[in-house]
Structure 1
Amino acid sequence: MAKDGSWPERGVVAAPSGGASAVWGECKGSGSKPYLAAVHLDGDGGPAYKCSCPSRKIPCKHALALLALWAQDDVATREEKPEWVGAWLNGRAARRARAESGTPADPAKAAATLQKKEKAVAAGLEELQTWLYDQVEAGLAEAPKHGYAHWDRMARRLMDAKARGAHTLVSQLPAAARGDRWPERMLEQLGLLHLLVSGYRAGDALGERTRGAARARIGIVTSADEVLAGGERVRDTWRVLGLRDIDTPEGDMRARRVWLRGTGTGRTALSLSFARTGQAPATAFRVGTEVTAELAFHPDGHRVVPVGDGGAGQAPPPEGGTVVEALDSFAAVLAEDPWQDAWPVVLDRVAPAHPDGSANGTRWHLVDPTGAALPLADTDPWRLLAVTGGHPATVAAEWSPAHGLTPLTVWDRNGKAVSL
C-alpha cells in the first residue's frame, strides 16, 4: 500500500520550529471515496493517528503506509492542508491548551449537565434504597431461584437514572447468588450497595476521598478537563509497577489499568485508558520504567490524568514488602474507599508454591520469607515460573479479596522487568 500511485494527495505539515509536525494523505480504496489518513508526529505521549477506514487496529495499515512513504522522502511539505486535517490538528491543540491551562471547555454547560444528572441519580438511588429494604425484608432464602428478570428490572432503572456504576453492581447480584457460600456473598453485595446509597446521601459530611469514591462508583465521573482544572496535583518520579487489560462489565470496551508509585511521596496512582473490544488501549507508560511528571488526581485520590509529558527512563526494581504489609496497605485503602475491589501490592522475595507441596487439586500461592502466603487468582502461574525458575523474586500484583492475587510484573535476577 505504500506506493506512490495509491496516494494521489498527500503532504507534510511543517512544525513552527522546523521539521514535520504531521503527515496526511488520501489513499485510494475499493470504494468511490478515498481513505483519509493522518499522523500527528508530535502528539502527547507519542504519535497520534486518524483514518476514515473501519479498521479497529491503531495504527491501521493506511497510517503505516503513509509513514513508510514519509520515511522514504516521498511526501513533500505543503503550505496548504485539507480542512479535515486542520480541524483534527486544531482540536488536538485546543485540548492540549485546556490541559496546560487547567480550564474546562464550557464551565456553565458542564455545571448544568451535572445538576441534571445529580437529580436523576438521586431519584434512582431512592428507588434502589427501597428495593434493597424489600430484598432483606422478604429474606434471601429464595435468592438463588430468582431469574435474571428479578434483578434486571432494578438494574435497568438505575441505567435510566444515569447511575451506571450502581447499575453494574446490581447486575452482578445474580452471580453472587450462585455456588458455595452464596449467602455471605449476597449479603456483602447488598451491604455495599446500601453503603453506597448512604455515602452518596452523606455528601460533604464524608471525607473528600470517600465522597469522590462513592460518586465515582455510582457513575458520576469527573471529566479530565475538570480534574486538570481543580484536581490535586502531585509532581514526583513515578515508577510504573504494572498494567492489566480487562473487559468492562458491559463487554463493549476494554480498559487498561496502569499502576504507578511515587518514589518520593510513596503515593499510588492509577492511569486508566479505554478502547473498543478487540483493540489494545493506548498508554504513555511502559512497565519497568519511571517517569518524572506531574499528575492531576481525581477526587477519589487514586485515578490520575497526566499533566504534560515527562522524561522516562529505565528503573530498578521497586521496594517490596511482606504479605502482612501488603494486606495492611489494602486495609488503609478500604478505610477511605470501602468499594475498592483491586489494589496493587509489591511483594519482596516471593515464590510460587502449593500448600500441600504438589501441583494438583489446590490453588497456587505466593509465599514470602516469613511463610505468609496469598492465593493466586489463576491456577497456572507458568509464565511467572518461567522467568524466576521458582526462585524468590520481586513481584508486583493486583490483590482482590474476592479473586486472589493477579501477578502483573516480575523482576528477574538481572533486575529486568517482565510484564506478565
Structure 2
Amino acid sequence: MSPHGERWTRDRVLALAPDEASRAAGGRLATAGRWSETGAGGGAVWGMCEGGDGTRYGTVVDLDGPAFQCSCPSRKFPCKHTLGLLLRWAGDEAGEPARPGDGPAAGGEPPPWAAGWLAARRERSDRPPGGAGAGGPGADGSEADGAGAAAPSRAPADPEAARRRAARRMQRIAAGATELEQRLEDLLHSGLAAAGSAVGAASRTGADDPGGGRGSWEETAARMVDAQAPGLASRVRELGAIAASGPDWPSRLLEECALLHLLDQGFLGIDRLPPPLAATVRARVGLTTDAADVRSDPETVTIRDRWLVLAQQDGAEGPLTTRRIFLRGERTGRMALHRSFGGAHRPLEVSLPPGLLLDADLAYYPGARPLRVALGEQYAPAAPGPVPAGCGIDAALAAYGHALRDDPWLDAWPVVLADVTPIPGGAGGGWQLADADGESALPLDPRCLGRPALWQLAAISGGAPVTVFGECGHRGFLPLTVWDPAPVSLSP
C-alpha cells in the first residue's frame, strides 16, 4: 500500500511515461516473471529486475515526489523498469488493488541498495519517510531545482572570487553582444536577400557559405557560446534557419533580427533598466539563477496555493533531458512553469502527471512577466484535481498579448481553452481550434502538424467541444493536454 493508504491506478502510472514506447515496454515488464526482492512501504516501492542478458537492475520509487532511481543505463525518466515496477504495484483499471503476489507486497524494509538512496533523498528534502513533504531536488543544469523550502542557498566559499568571475562573464557577454550588433548591421547593409542567396548557393554547391548563410550564422553562434551567452547563441541559430526557409522569410528574418537587436541593446544598457526587466534580459541571454537562491531571496515572490498540474512535457536540449511542468493556482489563477534538466547520471526526479492537485509553495524567478518557479514546501500529498476552468480564444489571445507587452521575446503563454472543437485541415495542414459559438478560431502551431497529437485530439473530441491546455503564441496554439474528462497528455 502507499503511505497514504491506497495504490495508484494504472492510468496514473502510465501518465509518467516519457513516450509511447516506454509505456509498451513497461507494460511488458509488469507481467514478466523477472522481478525479485520486491516490496512496498514507508512511501516507497522497490524491486530487482533481470534484463535479457542476465544483468540485474535495482529500481526504487519514492512515491511522495514521485522520484525514481534505477541502475539501468536508460536516459529516459522514468525508465521502463520503473514503469513496470509501478504497474505491478498499481491497482487495475477499475481501481481495485492488485491481487496478493501480483506485485510488490506491502510492509517490510527496503534492501540496503534502495534504503541508501531513499535516506539520502529524504535527508536532502528534510522530511520524514512517508511524510507529506515535497519531492527531492531535481537537476537543472547548474541549478538544483527541487523541493524543500528550507534548503539553504549554497554560498560560494570565496564571495569575492565569485564576484570577480561574475564580472568577467558580464564583460564577455557584453563583448559578444557588441560583436553581434556589428554582424546584424553588416546583414542589413548587404541586404536580406544576400542571406537567402548564400543559403541557396551553399545548398547547390555543398560549399561553405561565408556570405550570410547558415554556416556563417553557426560560426557567429559559436562565438556567442565562447562569450558565455547561450541565449544569444540559440537565437542566432534560429536566424540561420529562417533564411530561404519558405514564403515571406525576409519578413520573419527581419522580425527576429529586430528582437535580437533589442536584446543586445537591453543587455548593453542593463544598468538603466527596471529590475524586473533587467532580470528578464539576463535570463534571455543565458544567465541563470540557482533555485536555492530564488527560494532564499527575501525579495522572491513565493505563493502557497493548491496548484493543478496542467501538463508535463519532456524533451531534449543537446545531451540533456528537459522536463517542463505547467501548473495553475486554484485560488490565485496564476500560471507557473517548473523546468528541470537531467543527464545520463542525473535523473529528472520531479515528476507530476497532469491532473494532480498540489498544495505547495512556489517561488517565482524574477522577471518582468514571472512564470518560471522553484518548487518549495509541499503541505499535503498530491491528489487528483478537477477539470480546469478555461477561457475562449479571444481571451487567450489577449493573455498572450499582455504577457508579450512585458516580455517582447516571449514565444508563447500557457492558457486553458474551454469548449473548443478541433477542425482538421486539408492536405496542406491548417488545423484550427474553434470556439463553441463559431465566432473565433485559433490556428494550431505548424510544429505539431503531422504528429499523433492532432489525431489524438480529434479522436477524443469526436467533433464535440473539449477543454485543452497548451501554449498560445505567434505561431499558433500548441496543444499539450486534453480532458476527457480525465487528463490525456498529447503525444509529441
Q: Shorter chain as normaliser: what TM range? A: 0.7 to 0.9
Q: Which of 159, 162, 179 lines up with 2:225 in the alignment?
A: 159
Q: What is the match of residue 103 of structure 1?
A: 152
Q: What is the match of residue 396 of structure 2?
A: 326
Quote the Cα distance in structure 1 between the aligned partners of 2:371 and 2:351. 17
> What is the CA-CA distance between 1:252 and the residue it aligns to?
2.8
Quote the Cα distance in structure 1 between the aligned partners of 2:46 and 2:423. 53
Q: What is the match of residue 241 of structure 1?
A: 310
Tell me the amino acid that sits aligned with residue 382 of structure 1: W
Structure 2 vs 1, CA of residues 36 and 316 (structure 1 numbering), >3 Å: closer, same or farther? closer
Q: Which of 442, 455, 463 lines up with 1:390 in the alignment?
A: 463
Q: What is the match of residue 141 of structure 1?
A: 193
Provide the alpha-carbon RMSD of the alignment: 3.8
Quote the Cα distance in structure 1 between the aligned partners of 2:80 and 2:428. 47
Q: Which of 239, 242, 249 lines up with 1:176 in the alignment?
A: 242
Quote the Cα distance in structure 2 between the aligned partners of 1:336 and 1:19. 46
> What is the CA-CA distance between 1:156 and the residue it aligns to?
0.7
Tell me the amino acid that sits aligned with residue 340 of structure 1: L
Q: TM-score with structure 2 length normalisation?
A: 0.69
Q: What is the match of residue 49 of structure 1?
A: 69
- Is 1:240–1:260's contact at 8 Å kept on the other side of the alignment? yes
- Is 1:209–1:337's contact at 8 Å kept on the other side of the alignment? no
Tell me the amino acid that sits aligned with residue 422 of structure 2: P
Q: Deviation per CA, 1:231-253: give whole Å up to 9, x if none.
A: 321111112222333333xx333
Quote the Cα distance in structure 2 between the aligned partners of 1:388 and 1:26. 39
Q: Secondary structure at the match of 1:325?
A: helix
Q: Secondary structure at the match of 1:343?
A: strand
Q: What is the match of residue 225 of structure 1?
A: 292
Greater shift, 148-157 or 116-125, is seen at 116-125
- What are the within-5 Å matches in structure 2 for residues 243-322 of structure 1? 243-248=312-317, 251-276=318-343, 283-300=350-367, 301-309=370-378, 310-322=380-392
Q: Deviation per CA, 1:254-287: give whole Å up to 9, x if none.
A: 323222111222211111133459x995543221
Q: Which of 344, 350, 369 lines up with 2:420 in the alignment?
A: 350
Q: What is the match of residue 439 of structure 2?
A: 371
- Is 2:394–2:440's contact at 8 Å kept on the other side of the alignment? yes
Structure 2 vs 1, CA of residues 283 and 295 (structure 1 numbering), >3 Å: closer, same or farther? same
Q: Looking at both structures, which has the greater relative contact order when contacts are Cα pairs under 8 Å and sequence separation is at least 6?
A: 2
Quote the Cα distance in structure 2 between the aligned partners of 1:92 and 1:106. 22
Quote the Cα distance in structure 2 between the aligned partners of 1:324 and 1:20. 45
Quote the Cα distance in structure 2 between the aligned partners of 1:120 and 1:246. 30
Q: Deviation per CA, 1:129-185: give whole Å up to 9, x if none.
A: 222222222222201133332112211111011101110110111211121111111
- Is 1:375–1:405's contact at 8 Å kept on the other side of the alignment? yes
Name the structure with the higher strand share. 1
> What is the CA-CA distance between 1:304 and the residue it aligns to?
0.7
Structure 2 vs 1, CA of residues 276 and 102 (structure 1 numbering), >3 Å: closer, same or farther? closer
- Is 2:39–2:106's contact at 8 Å kept on the other side of the alignment? no
> What is the CA-CA distance between 1:196 and the residue it aligns to?
0.8
**Taking every aligned residue pair, what percent have the same amino acid on both sides?**
35
Quote the Cα distance in structure 1 between the aligned partners of 2:385 and 2:116. 39
Quote the Cα distance in structure 1 between the aligned partners of 2:77 and 2:432. 37
> What is the CA-CA distance between 1:205 and the residue it aligns to?
3.4
Q: TM-score with structure 1 length normalisation?
A: 0.79
Quote the Cα distance in structure 1 between the aligned partners of 2:162 and 2:361. 25
> What are the ranges of 5 or more consecutive residues in structure 2 without an aligned counterpart?
1-33, 90-100, 128-146, 199-208
Tell me the amino acid that sits aligned with residue 440 of structure 2: A
Q: Deviation per CA, 1:297-345: give whole Å up to 9, x if none.
A: 1113111111022432222222222211111100111111111112212
Structure 2 vs 1, CA of residues 30 and 182 (structure 1 numbering), >3 Å: closer, same or farther? closer
> What is the CA-CA distance between 1:20 and the residue it aligns to?
8.1
Q: Secondary structure at the match of 1:151?
A: helix
